């Protein structure tokens, strides 16, 4: 009987120690993951955006070159994006469907002062 009690007590103590160390290890790894996530997060720089005037100018160019058949809305709608993709492919630019700096420059559209710094 004494042996059984000693064995039970020993087993219970072992389980308690394993439980405590396992919880501590999990808590430590979670905080390590949070710290690693904070370190790996980079601030994103400003996003390059075309102005409404630049979009209208680009739509005029796309329309004159036959890449745009819709209205000149001053918005980057699907028809404009499709036209930009065709223009970019024809001019050997990276095909993005957006009015990025290289596309505006290739079209001869003046960049704003802020866009020049990006």
Q: Is the residue at 72 inside a domain? A: yes
Q: Is the residue at 11 inside a domain? A: no
Q: Is the residue at 7 inside a domain? A: no
At 87, which CATH number?
A: 1.10.101
pLDDT band of residue 22 (cuts 50, 70, 90) is low
Q: Is the residue at 106 inside a domain? A: yes
Count of alpha carbons within 13 Å of 58, Cβ hemisphere only? 33
Q: Is the residue at 15 inside a domain? A: no
Q: Which residues contact 56 (CB under 8 A, 6 or more apart)?
A: 72, 74
Q: Is the residue at 2 inside a domain? A: no
pLDDT of residue 63 exceeding 90: yes
pLDDT tens-digit series, residues 64-112: 999 998 888 899 999 999 999 999 999 999 999 999 999 999 999 999 9
Q: Is the residue at 17 inside a domain? A: no
**Backbone phi and psi for residue 109, each to the nearest 5 degrees, phi listed first:** -90, 130
37 vs 31: CA distance, rounded Å: 10
pLDDT of residue 45 exceeding 70: yes
Total tally of structural domains belonging to the chain: 1
């Amino acid at each position: 009987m004494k042996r059984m009690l000693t064995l039970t007590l020993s087993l219970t103590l072992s389980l308690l120690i394993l439980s405590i160390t396992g919880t501590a290890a999990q808590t430590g790894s979670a905080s390590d993951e949070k710290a690693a996530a904070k370190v790996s997060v980079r601030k994103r720089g400003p996003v390059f955006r075309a102005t409404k005037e630049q979009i209208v100018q680009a739509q005029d160019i796309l329309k004159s070159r036959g890449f745009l058949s819709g209205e000149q809305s001053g918005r980057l709608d699907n028809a404009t994006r499709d036209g930009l993709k065709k223009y970019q492919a024809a001019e050997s630019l990276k095909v993005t469907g957006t009015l990025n700096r290289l596309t505006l420059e290739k079209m001869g559209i003046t960049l704003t002062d802020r866009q020049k710094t990006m």
